Amino acid sequence: MAASPPATHEALEPALLTCARGDIAGFQGLQRLGLPSLLAVAGHVLKESRQVEPVVHDTLLLAWRNAYRLADSGLPPGHWLYSILSCRLHNQLSAMAGALPPPSPTEGLGPPAVPERIPAERRGPALWDLAQRLPPAAPGQALQARLDQTHQGLQLASRLPLTPTGETVHPPLYDPSLRRRMLTSRLAYRAKMAFQQALGRPFEERLFRRWRARRDASRMLEAQGLPRRSLETALAERLDLTVEPRRLVRGFSYPAGFPDRLARRKASNLFLWDGDWDLPRHYLVDSGRTHFMQDLWRHRLAPEQSTAFQQLQARAEQGDPLRSHHRGLLLDSRERILEYLRLYLLYMEDMACFGFDAGAGKDRLGVAVDRHGRLIKINKGLHRLAMAQVLGVPRVTVRVRSVHRRWWEAQTAGAGGDEALERLARALPHCDPAR
């Protein structure tokens, strides 16, 4: 690719708007306009050439994925793009300086990986001004090949089968041997959802409306636990709480909380949970997901040195590679394992740059309220919470999925129907993460 003059705000805007519409041509346009100057600035800041290309590749891909945010940012297109580069450079420099030491039992998760403030000379507008002064640079063959592969993956994704719950797979991790199980599971999931929409949900809604109006048998429905989905529909965002992720320390295990399989299955559909499910203590800092994210972020410059890579590589060599038709991936080679780890690193770079996005992922971060009004993390969004904790993100939004019946009864004080819902909604903001 021949070097070209630095792009202007006016030239970048249509390319970013094309990206925001999901048009893959926008990625190519952004690459053509922005790549030479992004390389020049990254090279000027990092000095080490081998560190430059991963930063620029991620900057372009993050811009493609988040271009819809430009309109609400209030920034000129060039400043917005170089603000992404600023964050990505900051994380690279922090990694090169070894900014995240291994945590010890007394340090917990360690200091935040991303400080609140980036030096003024490395913020987006300053880097944009620097780009206007530096001669543009041309990409090396390795970077060009990686960008071409990324573009081909974006094109291919729409032609591959969806995961059972309807997400797009990451093409480099997909293998044709997964296709049959993915299609079968997808059909089963759609049939289940169709049944719920046609019969299950209308029936739940009809009963829930009777409970809200305090009609006959309303107490019976409350005794059964109240339908979770109907209550979520009724209260919507009033069930959302903003918390500091590192204060959310307790986790919940369905098998430990509900040893009986039938009770476990029922609990997932109920808002009120009875029993001692909140007594088993499971600390998130000790969870495999947290260790995975810590390990990966610590080795982000060389993910092949991470424990995660070594474990996945050992599985592949033993003929038992990680295979998941639910996620559409097969990690049977070194290249696929590294791509899998880089994908998680890109998610973390995204969160470090744009903060926690409650709408990202197929599920909101789910929590339950125990008998004392404390928050316990349940198995919805555990990977994203671990990312936020490792990065030191200051705030995340969680959705209350269930509450202990004792706490419900203490807050509602015998009220039913809409009055009980109102009392619940007023009490929820006073819940704290469990200690």
Q: What is the mean pLDDT of the chain?
A: 90
Q: List pLDDT tens digits, range 3-18.
A: 566 789 999 999 999 9
Q: What tokens were used for 75?
A: 């920034």
Helix axes 9-20, 49-66, angle to 10 degrees: 60
Q: Residues 270, 276, 279, 282: is their CA dihedral positive or negative?
A: negative
Give the residues across from 227 on adjacent strands: 270
Whether the predicted pLDDT of 183 surpasses 70: yes
Q: List pLDDT tens digits, range 120-177.
A: 899 999 999 999 999 999 999 999 999 999 999 999 998 999 999 999 999 999 999 9
Q: Where are the beta strands (DSSP E) in 357-395?
A: 365-369, 374-377
Q: How far apart are CA 403 and CA 376, in angstroms?
A: 10
State residue 113's pLDDT score: 43
State residue 104's pLDDT score: 33
Q: Are 95 and 54 in contact (CB under 8 A)?
A: no
Mean pLDDT, residues 226-252:
93
Higher pLDDT, 287 or 425: 425
The pLDDT confidence band at residue 101, using thresholds 50, 70 and 90, is: very low
Higher pLDDT, 314 or 283: 314
Mean pLDDT, residues 222-243:
95
State residue 1's pLDDT score: 46
Q: List pLDDT tens digits, range 373-417.
A: 999 999 878 899 999 999 989 999 999 999 999 999 999 998 999
Share of the chain above pLDDT 90, in %: 72
Q: Tell me how far the alpha carbon of residue 425 is from its chain's centroid.
A: 26
State residue 432's pLDDT score: 86
Q: Residues near 433 by Cβ (< 8 Å), separated by ≥ 6?
A: 243, 244, 247, 248, 249, 250, 374, 375
State residue 387's pLDDT score: 93
Whether the predicted pLDDT of 105 surpasses 70: no
Q: List pLDDT tens digits, range 39-97.
A: 999 999 998 778 899 999 999 999 999 999 999 999 999 999 999 999 999 999 999 98
Mean pLDDT, residues 18-46:
94
